Amino acid sequence: MISDLVSVPYADAMLVALPEGIDPAAAASVADNVSDGYRSVAPYVDTMLQRDSDAHVVLLSEIGRREPFSSSVLLYAGLVAQAMGVRNIHFVDHRAHLRAEAERLGMNALAPNELRGLPPAALVVDSSATPAGLRRAIRYTAPDGTCTSLGSRNRSARIPALLMYGRNVTYRLARSHARTAIPAVLELMREGKLQPERVTTDLADLDHAPTAIRGHLTSDSTKTVLAE
């Protein structure tokens, strides 16, 4: 792995040993995208399912222009939700190949114009990175529900404050503290409940990194993992 080849700042605190039996390639994104997906759903699922065992989760991905976030994060979020017992997971993206990927992973995939047919969801994860996408995500959040955003590149964005007040919607926008989430993610993997490698579309040797990365950037590949 790359950590064997470079110095790691604050290594005693930041490095986490892989549990026995977990393939390093399967855990390659745990320090970043998998934990980002985990923190977007895991804190809310137990309470949500206690209220309604059939509660819905909406994962709002790219709805127009190209988003700055990895498209894999919401797929990981969906797998985490499945691992924690959520049955109704809707993945929204305008790209057909990503909708097909979400369907393969057991989610209900929708184009953005199909979202209107869904009832408001107890949890909505916004990865659109646009003010319009954020407003749409909030509008599809159910009463007493939660809308959480993976991030934003905008200095400001208008939100439907009156609607949020009337529905008692909680909105969270924050960065991921990946190191904090890693142990819980690895435990789900150790228990066999979470298989992040199902999102991986290409596994390449580290020595072939330039070719693999070029192929990733010029194709519909969702997640490329490099391993020794």
Q: What is the pLDDT along the chain (228 residues), one digit of tens a residue?
A: 555 677 888 888 889 999 999 999 999 999 999 999 999 999 999 999 999 999 999 999 977 666 667 789 999 999 999 999 999 999 999 999 999 999 999 999 999 999 888 899 999 999 998 899 999 999 999 999 999 999 888 888 999 999 999 999 999 998 899 999 999 999 999 999 999 999 999 999 988 999 999 999 888 888 999 988
Rounded (to 5) percent helix, strand, coil in the chain: 45, 20, 40
All domains in the chain, ordered by first residue: 25-196 (3.40.50.720)
pTM value surpassing 0.85: yes
Using CA atoms, how far apart are residues 172 and 135, in angstroms rounded to an integer? Answer: 13
Contact 115, 146 (CB under 8 A): no
> By CB neighbour count within 10 A (0-12 exposed, 13-18 middle, 19+ buried), where does 143 fall?
exposed
User: In terms of DSSP H, where are the helices of the chain?
Assistant: 11-14, 35-51, 72-83, 96-104, 131-139, 161-167, 178-190, 209-217
103 close to 95: Cβ distance less than 8 angstroms: no
Residues 6+ away with beta carbon under 8 Å from 7: none
Tokens of 148: 């959480």
CA gap 187, 198 in Å, rounded: 17
Neighbours of 204 (CB within 10 A): 16
Residue 148 forms beta bridges with which residues? 125, 172
